[in-house]
Every structure is written in C-alpha cells, then in structure tokens.
Structure 1
Amino acid sequence: MASHQQERGVVGQSAWPDLPPELLERIVAVLGPRDRVAVRLVCASWRTCVRESFPSDLPFEAPRLLLRRPGAGGGLTFFSLHHRKVLPFALPASISTGRCCGHLGGWLAMALDADRSIVLCNLVSGQSVAVPPPPVFPVSKVVLSGPPTSPGWVAAALGRMGTVVLLQPAVSGAWMTIGVNEAAQHGGFRDMAFWSGSLCALGYDGAVLAFHGDLRARAAAVSVVREAEHPVGALTGGCWRLYLVESDGELLLVRKLYMVRRNSEAVDLQVEVQVLLSAGERKWGLMVETAGRAVFVGSVASAVVAVGLYPAAGLRESCVYFARREVEMLAPHAICEYSLADEEMRGVPIAGGHSADVEPVWITPFI
C-alpha cells in the first residue's frame, strides 16, 4: 500500500505538460494572441503546439514587416516573409493610430503626431511607457540603448531636419540636443545607432560621428568614427541611401545606389549595394558576404539576423533586405532583396495590401 507521502507526491506532480496536443490546441484556441505567447513560454511541448497551430502569433520565426493597412483609419498588422502574406495580430489600441519610429526587443516607439508625443509600447505585455515630447517633431527615428524596463536606459530621437536629441529618464526629464554644429557641417544626420556605449550618427556626406553624452552635465563628447566620403550634395547621377546597423558589437554601414534609365521601350533599374564593417575607429572594410547572416535595413529599424535560427523562413545569407523599394513608381508594394554574392536584386511582393505612404518597419524576434 502506498504511503501518504507517496500519494502526496503523485498528486503534487503536474500533468499539464502531458496534455494531449489536440486538447491543448482546443484550450489555446480560445485565448488571445498575447496569452498564447505566454503559453509558449511554459515548456517545449506547449511551445511546439502553439507554434504549429498559431504561426501568426508573436514571437515569430523571422523578421516581419509592421504595416499600416490601406484606407482611412487603417490599423497596424504584420507581413511574414515566411508565409508571404499578412498575418492577423491584434496590436494594443493605444498605439493603433500611431506612427512607428523605432523598435527594440519587442518595444515599439510610436509617434503620435497630433499631440507631438512618443509612447513606448511592449508588443507582448501591452505595457506602455510615456516619454516627454522631444523638441524635434516630427520624429523620423527613435533608438534605445536598452529596454525601458532596464536601469539607466537612454533614448535618442532623430528629427526629420537631421537634429539628434538624447533623454535619460533616470537622470532628467528633459531632452538634450547634441551635435548641432556637427550636423550642419555634414548636411544633417540621416540615421543613428547605439554602438560601444556611444550614439553614432550618420551624416548626409557619409561621415559617422560618435557622441558620448553626460546627461547630468548636459554635455556630449564627439569623435569621428568614419570620415566623410564626399562633399554634401556632391553626388549626382543616381540616388544614394545609407543606413547604420549595430550587430553584436559590430557597426555596419549599408550603402545603396540605384539609378533608373528610361527609354521608349523599357525601364532599366541598376542597383548597387555595399556593406562596410567597422573593426574599430577609422578602420572600415568592405564585406563581400555576410556568412550565415542576413541584413535587414530601413530608415526606422535595422538588424542583422542569423539565418540558421530560422531554417523554415527562407532567408538567404549574404543578402540585404530593404523594408521598402526605393523606386516607388516601379513596385511600391514590395520588399527589395539584394544578394551580395550575385549582385542581383529581386522584389518580394507584399501580398495583402498596405499603405504605400507609410514605410514598413522591420520587427525582429525578441523571445
């Protein structure tokens, strides 16, 4: 006869991980997307069940595009490279009318242009963190040094006129403007990224400057990470786009040149993409491949992803994925995929429709 302790031990063991998959699937089916995300974190068997039955839920298998649905009052949704279609996901109502201007670790920076405010919102928990209105509205990009739940986190906002401001809520509730003279010297700033404890800003002449701010003293030291490659406004004969990307301690500069030639019969599009890697200050090298990795760039968010982590997603190593085709008159509803190895570009159509007036934003896996 079993002892009382043995009986207690048997009773105390949880049978939840051993639920039949069909029963677990029926239970999970009545939950909302965010609750299903929580279920995925319980154990491996639950994670497998939810992932196979509800592939549209976060977290996801590879970077997705955050899109604005077409039409007045169109909400936010996701496009999956893996499934090649728009997937349903109910985003928090508090940000559904905002404009995404940044992303880090599941936190979206949403600009509410009507009242010139910025709200940081967690996609999974729905938690929101308000920050003071930055003095550079309209904001084109916001980057964070860490999640707003981490100690001492810093936010940087880039205005559409090329001005950068910093905020550290633990130190001060006021934004600090940095690099005004440097911005004027380099034609304004067009992109930025946190790297090696500093905020790096990319000028329109190709220069990269690193700012190390002391927000208590309201001052910022500046150093040159990359010299300007051409005078401001000197480029002709094509359209240049430059992006800064931080990846595991590395700083990448993605440079894209596209030229459109028209004749009576066809339109000829020529595209050249280069990825440069910083191995330290003033030391940059051209990368002919990104072995095992794919680069995702956009004016709002950029990232580098290991393709081996998402074997079913169809990502290609040594490829650069652009959030939006630069030549809107050719394919406004498409992603640009450029192979560094083949030096070829192909368009990936965004099925399901979205507003071409709002740039899609890459949202990378975060759980």
Structure 2
Amino acid sequence: MASSQNPPRRPLAAGQSAWPDLPPELLESILLRLDPLDHVAVRLVCSSWRLCARALLSADLPFEAPRLLLRRPGSCGRLTFFSLRRLEILPYALPGRLNAGRCCGQIGCWLAMAFDEERAIELRNLFSGESVAMPRPPVFPVAKIMLSAPPTSLGWVAALLGNSGTLALLQPDVSGGDAWISIAAGAEHGGFRDMAFWRGRLCAVGYDGTVLAYRADLRARVAAVSELREKDGWPERNMLRHWRRRTYLVESEGELLLVRKLYSVDGDWAEVDVEVHRFRPEECNWEEVEELPGRAVFVGAVASVAVLVTAALPGVRENCVYFARREVDMIVPQAIGVYSLEDFETSVVAIAGGHSADVEPVWIIPSVPCSHASASRNYQQASRLCDG
C-alpha cells in the first residue's frame, strides 16, 4: 500500500539552497504579505519563484503600464483586467463579492467598490485582501470617490461625487462615527463633472467649465471656496458644428491639469480633439499645454492620472492622452483611444475579447515606481484638505 507520507527529500549538496523547493501555497502566502515593490526581488530568486509570482495579481501589476479594470460581456460577467503591455485580458478576476459591485475609485492598491442596492461603499486592498467599510455616503448613487490617503492612514478624507453632480466630503471617525459636509455650490454651474486633490484642496470642474477649489473644516461643516477658472466661452468652431465634450481634472507632478475631449459626429464620420490646460497659480490663470514630454495622461470618469513614461512602463507612449470611455466617436467601440498631442490624431488599441458596454472601464495604477514620490507628495498635500 502506498504511503500517505511525503517522499523524503534528497540531501542538499554543499552550497545548495532549499528555498526553490518551498511548496507553492506557502510561497504564495509569503508573497501576499510583502510590499508590492518587493515582488521584483522575489521574481529574481529562481524560476520556480518567478512562476509563482507571475500567477499572482500583485506580481507584475505595479511594474507595467496602467491596466483597465473592466467587466466581461454577459449578465454574469466578472471584473478583470486588460493589460496594455500584453494587449490582452488577463486571466485574473476579482474575487467573490467584488464582482457584484461597481468600481467608483482607486488609490494605490485600494479599490472603492459601490454596492448600489445596499447603498454601501467598501474599500478593498487588491494585494492583501484587507477590507474597510465606509459610513453610508451622504450622496448616492456615487459616481466617483477620491481618497486623500489610503484608508489605513490617520485622518484620511474621502471626496464623493454623486451622479447628480453634488460633492461631499467625508472623514470616518476612529470612534465609529463620521463627519461630513455636502457642497451644493455646483448647482449654479449645472453640477460637477470631475474632481481632483491638488495642493491640499479639493478642486472640481462644473458642467459649464468653471473650476472651484475647496478647503474644508469638517467639524464646523463649512468649506471655503475660491474660483480657479471662469465658465467656458464658446469657441468659434462650436458655432459651425455641434461639439460634445468630456472634461477631467488631473494632478500631475504638482500641477493641476484640465483635460477636455471634444468630439463631433456626423453619421459615420467623427472628429476628435483633445485640449490640455495647466493652471499657473502665480499668475492665477490657465495656459494651453502643447506637449507633455516624458508624460502620459490617462483620463476617465472614475480615475484619472498622469504618469512618467520610462522603460519601466512598456506599452505607454509619451505626450499622449489615453481614454477608455465608450463613445460614439470611437471607430472601434471596444478600444482604448490614444490621442497624440504632437500629431493631433487619435489611434486605437483594441481590447481583444471586448467588455460590457454598460460599465465604463476604470484605469487602475496600484503602484508606479517612477511616480512614488509624486503620489506620496499628493497624499500629504491632500491630507491637509480639512483643517478640522
């Protein structure tokens, strides 16, 4: 009868290590407890460690181009990732309950998931699996959530943008309560389209193009507001053709960028244009950015970010704006649009296998090595948002 015991291991030769023979389940348990940056070192140990590391989401996610979190087609479609570097949908899928949710925000390795039927928001760490429940939000449904710092940090603040265009600031209390204020000033601007943390303030762009900056005192339930940009004028081309637009705010290396995607559709023909403007706080005005050398901007309704383009980010083109929203202007509906500020042209990266058209894909950048300093600085600045 065969023995149920494990076969004896061969004796090690002089200078030989037993580390490559670790059981995969033990090695996986170890990897899940490491910082994402340490996974690079793990992959250099030996071939068996490298194979195990590649099987985990955290193995190479921080070290390649931003990925898209998207929902696969079908009524029971699962949430998974599309890799710009590999140009394919990855086999990894978000576990269990997360597939019933809707991603409405991301910071570092944390996802903000909305469960609309429950009117609940859950924060989940992609690497560790740790979960943090948020207090019931004052605005719902929530279109976008931004966190000033990871939810394990002290004094973190959440900014929420409701589907109606209303802003709210929420700060969970360690005692179990919460403090929050709603900012209704967007009504006169038709509501807010997007928001971003910049220099310790929450900046928001209205439907009319006005950009406002808020510094809040949650204890006093008040927020001081200043205007960074007046509402849009109507360029001459708008008189010639009906242009639609999407507007995004992005913090990039300490700068506040305003990105506008304009498009016009006439039957099967479409024209797309992208404008990038930079706020100059010294002159309190905006200037158009003609190029972004060494940088690429990824925009979306849920998450927008600018990254430094280096060899560590294969598949990303500098001086380009990436957008993944499925619009009628896209020649290939299931594709990523890449607008070149140099050529003034839009190319597409097809998403093989497609995705659900009912849910906008979300850019996910858990950790980009070349921008750690920028992210850390942004967390510190945004944490000063609330004086209370």
Q: TM-score, structure 1 length as denominator?
A: 0.84
Q: State how far apart, in whole Å, the 2-side matches of 1:253 and 1:142 are.
A: 18
Question: Which is further off, 58-67 or 38-47?
Answer: 38-47
The 3 A distance-change label for structure 1 pair 101 and 15 is farther
1:118 is aligned, of 121, 143, 147, to 121
SS of residue paired to 1:308:
coil
C-alpha contact 1:92 1:123 (8 A) present in aligned 2: no
The equivalent residue for 1:343 is 344
Structure 1 196/268 Cα, relative in aligned 2: closer, same or farther at 3 Å? same
Tell me: CA distance 1:286–1:46, structure 2 relative to 1, closer, same or farther (3 Å).
same
What is the RMSD of the two structures over their aligned residues, measured on CA atoms? 2.7
- Separation (CA, whole Å) in 1 of partners of 2:338 and 2:69: 17
Q: Which letter maps to 1:278?
A: F
Indicate the residue corresponding to 1:276 in structure 2.
Answer: 277
CA distance in 1, matches of 2:206, 2:336: 25
Aligned with residue 245 of structure 1, among 233, 243, 250: 250
Determine whether 1:47 maps to 2:43.
yes
CA distance in 2, matches of 1:105, 1:45: 20
- Counterpart of 2:99 in structure 1 is 96
Is contact 1:28–1:36 with CA below 8 Å preserved after alignment? no
Counterpart among 208, 224, 228 of residue 227 in structure 2: 224
Residue 316 of structure 1 corresponds to 317
Counterpart of 1:184 in structure 2 is: 187
Distance 2:178 2:120 in 1: 14
Q: Does the aligned pair in 2 maintain the 1:334–1:347 contact within 8 Å? A: yes
- % identity of equivalent residues: 54
For the residues of structure 2 that align with 1:40 and 1:301, how far apart are their CA atoms? 21
The answer to whether the Cα contact below 8 Å between 2:120 and 2:137 also exists between their aligned partners in 1 is yes
Q: Deviations over 1:48-72 (max 9, x none)?
A: 4666772773234110000111112
Structure 2 residue matching 1:290: 3-state secondary structure: coil
> What amino acid does structure 2 have at the position aligned with 1:280?
P
State which of 291, 294, 297 in structure 1 corresponds to 2:296.
294
1:167 and 2:173 correspond = no
Q: In structure 2, the residue corresponding to 1:276 is in which secondary structure?
A: strand
Partner SS, residue 140 of structure 2: coil
Asked if 1:83 is matched to 2:86, the reply is yes
Is 2:161–2:194's contact at 8 Å kept on the other side of the alignment? Answer: yes
1:33–1:90 CA contact under 8 A, matched in 2: no
**1:127 to 1:34, Cα distance in 2 relative to 1, 3 A:** farther
Counterpart CA distance in 2 for 1:239 and 1:320 is 18
Segments of 5+ residues of structure 2 without an aligned counterpart are 1-14, 369-388
Shift in Å at residue 309 of structure 1?
4.8
Amino acid at match of 1:88: P
Q: How far does residue 288 in structure 1 lie from its aligned partner after superposition?
A: 0.9
Q: How far apart, CA to CA, are the structure 2 residues paired with 1:47 and 1:77?
A: 23
1:137 aligns with 2:137: no
Name structure 1 gaps, 5 residues minimum: 1-13
CA offset at residue 175 of structure 1? 3.0
Instruction: Give the number of the structure with larger relative contact order, counting CA–CA contacts within 8 Å between residues 6 or more apart.
Output: 2
SS in 2 for 1:46: helix
Structure 2 Cα separation of the partners of residues 41 and 241 of structure 1: 35
Query: Is the 1:56–1:87 Cα contact (8 Å) retained in structure 2?
Result: no
Q: 2:163 matched to 1:148?
A: no
SS at match of 1:183: helix
Letter matched to residue 343 of structure 1: F
- Once the two structures are superposed, residues 329-355 of structure 1 have per-residue CA deviations (whole angstroms, 9 ceiling, x without a partner) of 743311100000000001111112211
The secondary structure found in structure 2 opposite 1:150 is coil
Residue of 192, 207, 211 corresponding to 2:214: 211
**Partner in structure 2 of residue 6 of structure 1:** none
Native 8 Å contact 2:173 2:179 kept in 1: no
4+ residue runs over 4 A deviation: 26-34, 39-45, 49-53
Using the size of structure 2 for normalisation, the TM-score is 0.80
Partner Cα distance (1:32, 1:356) in 2: 35
2:68, 2:363 within 8 Å by CA — same for their partners in 1? yes
